[in-house]
Amino acid sequence: MNFIRTQIPDVIICEPKVFGDHRGYFTETFREDLLTEFLGYKINFCQDNESKSTKGVLRGLHYQLAPSAQTKLVRVISGKVLDVALDIRKGSSTFGQHVAVELSEDNKRQLIVPRGFAHGFIVLSEEAVFAYKVDNYYSPENDRGVLYNDPALAIDWQLPEEILQLSDKDTKQPLLKDADVFDIEMNLYE
Identify the CATH number of the domain in which residue 55 sits: 2.60.120.10
Query: How many domains are contained in the chain?
Result: 1
**Cβ atoms of residues 18 and 29 within 8 Å:** no
Q: Print the domain residue range for 100.
A: 46-183
Catalytic residue positions, numbered: 62, 132
Residue 31 lies in a domain: no
Q: Report if residue 34 sits inside a domain.
A: no
Element (H, E) at 29: none
Assigned domain for 7 exists: no
For residue 15, being part of any structural domain is answered with no
pLDDT tens sequence for the chain (190 residues): 999 999 999 999 999 999 999 999 999 999 999 999 999 999 999 999 999 999 999 999 999 999 999 999 999 999 999 999 999 999 999 999 999 999 999 999 999 999 999 999 999 999 999 999 999 999 999 999 999 999 999 999 999 999 999 999 999 999 999 999 998 765 555 4
Q: What is the rounded CA–CA span in Å between residue 107 and residue 112? A: 16
CB atoms within 10 A of CB 145: 20
Please report whether residue 17 resides in a domain. Answer: no
pTM: 0.94
Q: Is 137 within the bounds of a domain?
A: yes
The answer to the question of residue 129 being in a domain is yes
Q: How many residues does the chain have?
A: 190
